[in-house]
Structure 1
Amino acid sequence: MRESKPWADDVDLADRATGPYPDSLAHLLDRLRYLDALIRCRLDAWWSETGTVDEYRGLYVSDETVARLVDEGRPTGASPTQAGETLRAAADRRAHEIATREVETRTAGGELRLLRVKELFGLDATSVDALLVALAPSVSSDYETLYSYLQDDVTRKRPTVDLTVELLSAVDAGTRERLAVRRAFARSAPLVRDALVSLPGEREGVPLPSRPVVVAERLVDYLLGGDDIDPLLADVASLEHEVDAGATRLRWLDERARRRVEWVCAADVPATVSLHGPPGAGVRAVATAISHAQGVALLTVDATRVVTHLTDTDSGLSRVLDAVRREALLSDASVLITDVDACSETARRAVVDRLDDLPRTVLLAGSEAWRPPRPPENHAFVAVELGIPPYQTRRDVWRELLDGRASAVDVDGLASTFRFTPGRIADAIATAESVAVEFAAEDDDDDGDGEDDEDGANGETGVLSDATLYHACRELSGQRLETLSTPVVSTFGWDDIVLPAATKAVLRELAARIGHRGRVYTEWGFAEKYTLGNGLLALFTGPSGTGKTMAAEILATDAGVDLYKIDLSRVVSKYIGETEKNLAAVFDEAETTDAILLFDEADALFGTRTEVRDSHDRYANIEVDYLLQRIEAHDGTVILTTNLERNVDDAFLRRIHVSLEFPRPDRTLRRELWERVFPTATPVGDLDYEFLSTFEIPGGNIRNAALTAAFLAAEEGERVEMSHVVRAMRREFQKTGRLVGPDAFGTYFEESKG
Structure 2
Amino acid sequence: MTLQLCGPDPLGKEQAAAAALATIGRPLFAIGAAILPGAPADIARLAQLWRRDLVLTGGALFVDADRLNDPAPLALFATLLGRPLIVGAPDALMLGQAPTVRLDMPRLTANEQLPLWRDRLGPYAKKLNGTIERLAYHFPVSPELADSVAAELAVLAPDPAAKAKKGAPKLDEIAWDAARRFARPRMEDLARRIDSEAQWNDLVLPPAQKDVLKAIVAQVRNRPTVYESWGFAKRSAGRGLGISVLFSGPSGAGKTLAGEILGAELGLDVYRIDLSSMMSKWIGETEKNLRRLFDAAEEGAAILQFDEADALFGKRGEINESRDRHANIEVSYLLQRIEEYRGLSILTTNYRSNIDSAFLRRLRFIIDFDFPGQAERAEIWQRIFPKSTPKGALDFDRLSQLNLSGGSIRNVAMGAAFAAADRGQHVGMAHILSAARLEYEKSGRSLTSAELRGWLL
- For Structure 1 versus Structure 2, the TM-score category normalised by the shorter chain is 0.7 to 0.9
Name the aligned partner's letter for residue 425 of structure 1.
Answer: L
Partner of 2:369: 662
Indicate if the aligned counterparts of 1:432 and 1:471 stay in contact, CA closer than 8 A.
no
Which amino acid is the alignment partner of residue 31 of structure 2? D
2:87 aligns with one of 337, 345, 364:
364
**Residue of structure 2 in register with 1:286 after alignment:** 16
Contact persistence 2:390–2:427 (CA under 8 A): yes
Instruction: Extract unaligned runs of 5+ from structure 1.
Output: 1-270, 441-462
Q: Deviations over 1:645-674 (max 9, x none)?
A: 121233421211101111222332222212
SS of 1:694's partner is: coil
1:343 Cα deviation from its structure 2 partner: 8.2
Counterparts of 2:235 and 2:450, CA distance in 1: 62
Return the alpha-carbon distance in structure 2 between the equivalents of residues 319 and 735 of structure 1: 63
Partner of 1:443: none
Separation in 2, partners of 1:637, 1:563: 9
SS at match of 1:481: coil
Question: 1:408-487 residue pairs with structure 2 within 5 A?
Answer: 410-416=131-137, 418-423=138-143, 425-426=145-146, 428-429=148-149, 432=152, 466=172, 469-487=175-193
The answer to whether the 8 A contact 2:71-2:93 is kept is: no
487-496 vs 663-672, which moves further: 663-672
Among 52, 62, 65, the alignment partner of 1:337 is 62
Inter-CA distance 743–693: structure 2 relative to 1 (3 Å threshold): closer
For the structure 1 residues 585 and 744, does the alpha-carbon distance in structure 2 shift closer, same or farther, using more than 3 Å as the test?
same
The root-mean-square deviation of aligned C-alpha atoms, in Å, is 3.3
State the match for 1:297 in structure 2: 26
Helix, strand or coil at the partner of 2:348: strand
Change (3 A) 1:480 1:609: farther
1:683-694 mapped onto 2 (5 Å cutoff)? 683-694=390-401
State the 1:314 CA deviation: 2.5
1: CA distance, partners of 2:307 / 2:282:
23
Q: What per-residue deviation string (whole Å, max 9, x for no partner) do you get for residues 166-196 of structure 1?
A: xxxxxxxxxxxxxxxxxxxxxxxxxxxxxxx
- For 1:340 and 1:324, the matched residues in 2 are separated by 17
C-alpha displacement at 1:429, in angstroms? 3.2
> Equivalent residue of 2:87, what SS?
strand
Aligned partners of 1:511 and 1:559 also within 8 Å: yes
Q: CA 1:395–1:280 in 2, change beyond 3 Å: closer, same or farther?
A: farther
Q: CA deviation at 1:612?
A: 4.0
Contact kept? 1:598, 1:640, Cα under 8 Å:
yes
1:473-497 deviation per Cα after TM superposition (whole angstroms, max 9, x unaligned)? 4444445221111111111011211
Could you list the per-position Cα deviations for residues 443-469 of structure 1 after superposition, in whole angstroms to 9, with x for gaps in the alignment?
xxxxxxxxxxxxxxxxxxxx9955554
Find the counterpart in structure 2 of residue 559 from structure 1: 266
CA distance in 2, matches of 1:301, 1:694: 66
State the 1:593 CA deviation: 1.3
Match of 2:165 in 1: none
What letter corresponds to residue 512 of structure 1 in structure 2? A
Q: Does the aligned pair in 2 maintain the 1:388–1:592 contact within 8 Å?
A: no
Give the letter aligned to residue 678 of structure 1: F
Go from structure 1 to structure 2 and tell me whether the alpha carbon gap of 1:395 and 1:558 turns closer, same or farther (over 3 Å shift). Answer: farther
Instruction: Say if 1:743 and 1:285 are closer, same or farther in 2 by CA, change over 3 A.
Output: closer
Q: How many Å apart are 1:274 and its aligned residue?
A: 1.8
CA contact (8 A) 1:485 1:564 kept: yes
What is the identity, as a one-letter code, of the residue corresponding to 2:125? A
| 2:119 pairs with 1:406 | no
Distance verdict in 2 for CA 1:639–1:573, change over 3 Å: same
Q: Helix, strand or coil: the match of 1:723?
A: helix
How far does the alpha carbon of each residue in 1:310-353 deviate from its partner, in whole angstroms, 9 at most, with x for none?
4x7324433444454555455444x2422135485445545665
Q: Distance in 1 between matches of 2:65 and 2:286?
A: 23
Counterparts of 1:499-510 in structure 2, within 5 Å, are: 499-510=205-216
Q: Cα offset for 1:433?
A: 7.5
Of 279, 285, 305, which aligns to 1:598? 305
Residues 1:680 and 1:319: Cα distance change in structure 2 (over 3 Å)? same
Larger RCO (CA within 8 A; separation ≥ 6): 2
1:496 counterpart = 2:202: yes
Structure 2 distance, partners of 1:482, 1:570, is 14
Query: Which of 311, 314, 317 lines up with 2:40 in the alignment?
Result: 314
- Could you say if the C-alpha distance between residues 687 and 365 of structure 1 is closer, same or farther in structure 2, counting changes exceeding 3 Å? same
Q: 2:5 aligns with which of 262, 265, 275?
A: 275
Which stretch of structure 1 is more off in the superposition, 401-410 or 708-717? 401-410
Bigger radius of gyration among the two:
1
Letter in 2 for 1:628: L
SS for the counterpart of 2:452 is helix
**Which one of 356, 375, 381 corresponds to residue 649 of structure 1?**
356
Q: Is the 8 A contact 2:114 2:132 kept in 1?
A: yes
Q: Tell me which residue corresponds to 2:278.
A: 571
CA, structure 1 residues 476+606, in 2 after alignment: closer, same or farther (shift >3 Å)?
A: farther
Q: CA deviation at 1:412?
A: 3.4
| Distance 1:464-1:705 versus aligned 2 partners, 3 A rule | closer
Aligned pair count reads 444
Going from structure 1 to structure 2, the CA distance change for 1:497 and 1:332 (only over 3 Å counts) comes to same
AA in 2 matched with 1:412: E
Does the 8 Å CA contact 1:706/1:725 hold for their aligned counterparts?
A: yes
Q: 1:331 to 1:686 in 2, by over 3 A?
A: closer
- 1:637: how far off? 1.2
Deviation, 1:394, is 3.1
Q: Distance in 2 between matches of 1:638 and 1:738?
A: 36
Q: Distance in 1 between matches of 2:271 and 2:240?
A: 20
**Which residue type is aligned with residue 415 of structure 1?**
A
Question: Match of 1:727, as an amino acid?
Answer: S
Alpha-carbon distance between aligned partners in 1 of 2:286 and 2:147, rounded to the nearest angstrom: 30
Taking the aligned partners of 1:589 and 1:616, their CA distance within structure 2 comes to 28
Q: 1:685 to 1:619 in 2, by over 3 A?
A: same
Residue by residue over 1:512-570, the C-alpha shift from the partner in whole angstroms, topping out at 9 and shown as x without a partner, is 11112222211221111111231111001112221111110000111111000014464
Alpha-carbon distance in structure 2 between the residues aligned to 1:279 and 1:609: 35
User: Which of 414, 431, 441 is the equivalent residue of 1:724?
Assistant: 431
CA distance in 2, matches of 1:559, 1:660: 19
Matched-pair contact (CA < 8 Å) for 2:116–2:143? no
Q: Match of 1:524? A: 230
Residue 511 in 1 paired to residue 231 in 2?
no
Structure 1 CA distance for aligned equivalents of residues 151 and 282 of structure 2: 38
When normalised by structure 2's length, the TM-score is 0.85
Q: Deviations over 1:238-289 (max 9, x none)?
A: xxxxxxxxxxxxxxxxxxxxxxxxxxxxxxxxx8532123345532442244
Q: Is the 8 A contact 1:281 1:387 kept in 2?
A: no
Question: CA separation in 1, counterparts of 2:91 and 2:12?
Answer: 14
The residue that corresponds to 1:608 in the other structure is: 315
